[in-house]
Amino acid sequence: MRYIPQVLSHSDDWSTRHSVLTTARRTAALLNALADDRPDPAGVADVLRDYGETDPIDLTTRDVAGMRAAAALLRQVFAAEHADGAAATLNRLLQEHTGPLRLTSHGGSTPWHPHLDHDDNAPWDEWLLASSCMALTVLVWDRQRPPGRICASPSCHTVFITQGSGPERRYCSRRCATRERVAAHRRSHSIEQPNEIK
């Protein structure tokens, strides 16, 4: 199952849960969950639930291995420094790994929405790659810059979605930004001290 059933009482909830930005954030969360050498299928399923997927989500270690391979390809988009690099990577992924754009309502159980996977019941890795490529492509189109980044902290490999106007974020969190700022201050302070002793 690769979709969310329609919520009848709040029809706009479906749109919010499946907005381009939410789908891109889900991509980042899944890439981070799949970054471990041996990600736990239950943990990956929890991330899917956090972003609106419904049970049953029965991921096998084989499913997760395929999703890890898709995540490695998608991580290249987050590593791009400029919109041109992100676009080139997405164009390659779209050409090599997705089907033609199509609309589906999953047999009438959801509002009509676009898909790039080959089938409504495509394997998890194909679904992850196709849905992520679509969301990230729209973000590049909309903002004319990479849709996200890999944290600039050398000790962190977390990917995150950049959003809003103003300067782009370099770090995944305030904690990483603060840690790097403190480390830079200590380095500059330790360089200055020997000069003061002389």
* pLDDT means over runs of 10, the chain (198 residues): 36 68 96 95 96 90 97 98 97 95 90 90 95 96 95 94 80 89 71 57
- Residue 16: per-residue pLDDT: 67
Bridge-based pairing of strands 102-104 and 113-115 is antiparallel
Of 157, 129, 149, the closest CA to residue 79 belongs to 149
Contact call for residues 149 and 86 (beta carbons, < 8 A): no
The pLDDT score that the predictor gives to residue 193 is 62
Of 90, 85, 120, nearest to 106 (Cα)?
Answer: 120
Which pLDDT value is given to residue 143? 92
Rounded-to-integer distance, Cα 164 and Cα 139, Å: 11
| pLDDT of 7 | 36
What's residue 169's pLDDT? 86
Q: How far is 58 from 55, CA to CA, in rounded Å?
A: 8
**What's residue 185's pLDDT?**
60
